Structure 1
Amino acid sequence: MTDYRSALVYVMVLTSASDSDMTDSELATIGEIVKFLPVFKGYNPEDLPMDSRECANLLEGDDGIDRVLDKVVAALPEHLRETAYALALEVVAADGIASQEELRLLEILRHTLDIERLAAAAIERGARARYMHA
């Protein structure tokens, strides 16, 4: 994987798979994000299943999370790292429940992508606001 858009897909798939339960709402959120966000302009949504499979295959091997994150960091421009973190949060928020595994992965992502704590808090607050119920 060398494309930044595929790297963003890997982040979302990794996030969804982190608790060993890729829910329908998480998968639907990933599909919607790929179709509508400007960062995915030029990405063929038909490539989503292939990118998802490739990411899942990497996760199955030894040190799978580290291997996926190494590929993500190599393919992702620095200016899109906060975007990657925001997309991970969208996937976590999609089913309304943040598991301990997902929260741990968000912490790993924050450190791996070198997201400043204040920026991370702002991104987290934005995701929380978007998914708030009355």
Structure 2
Amino acid sequence: MTATISTEQALIYAMVTMSGVEGKINAVELAEIRQLVETLPIFRDFDEQRLIAVAQEAGEILQDKEGLAAVLGLIKGALSPKLRETAYALAVEIAAADLAVGREELRFLAMLRDTLELDKLVTAAIERSAIARYQRP
């Protein structure tokens, strides 16, 4: 696939794909995506009004037979090595948002890690950080 997407689109694709890997996007995860787009500096120049359209783009790509591979390729192609860790961290945030991480989400995280060629120690640290943030008494 030769199409390119922006950095912001790639990060949103990662979050939307994480949210949808179990077959549906739940309201808690969708609210988390919106909150991250509204508050993180990486999205400073992104028009928040485009969030739904970008999320729908990702969903449309994912409907194809090879859609997941295509989305992963687009994400990797749009991000510098430095921002690949950011994509992984945002995907982890979405997985943790509803306080339940299922098998499909874990499988997608492994695929994302491998596609983005991230160090396993780095991804373990990102995951552990999310666990600490979402810890309950």
Please classify the TM superposition score into its range, dividing by the shorter chain length. over 0.9
Which of 4, 23, 26 pairs up with 1:23? 26
Cα distance between partner residues in 2 of 1:73 and 1:118: 19
What residue number does 2:47 align with? Answer: 44
What residue number does 2:91 align with? Answer: 88
- Residue 21 of structure 1 and its aligned partner are, at CA, apart by 2.3
Cα distance between partner residues in 1 of 2:116 and 2:41: 21
Cα distance between partner residues in 2 of 1:34 and 1:16: 15
Cα distance between partner residues in 2 of 1:73 and 1:121: 19
Give a deviation string over 1:12-65, Cα, whole Å, max 9, x none: 000000011211000000000000011111011111001000000000011110
- Residue 11 of structure 1 and its aligned partner are, at CA, apart by 0.2
4+ residue segments displaced more than 4 Å: none
Q: TM-score, normalised by structure 1?
A: 0.98
Unaligned runs of at least 5 residues, structure 1: none
User: Are 1:78 and 2:84 counterparts?
Assistant: no
What residue number does 1:69 align with? Answer: 72
- Residue 128 of structure 1 and its aligned partner are, at CA, apart by 0.6
Q: TM-score, normalised by structure 2?
A: 0.95
- Residue 76 of structure 1 and its aligned partner are, at CA, apart by 1.1
Amino acid at match of 1:26: E
What residue number does 1:129 align with? Answer: 132
User: Are 1:105 and 2:99 counterparts?
Assistant: no
Cα distance between partner residues in 2 of 1:129 and 1:116: 20
Which of 4, 7, 10 pairs up with 2:7? 4
Amino acid at match of 1:35: E
**How many pairs were matched up?**
134
- Residue 74 of structure 1 and its aligned partner are, at CA, apart by 1.1
Cα RMSD, aligned residues only: 0.7
User: Are 1:58 and 2:61 counterparts?
Assistant: yes
Cα distance between partner residues in 2 of 1:55 and 1:121: 26
Amino acid at match of 1:46: Q
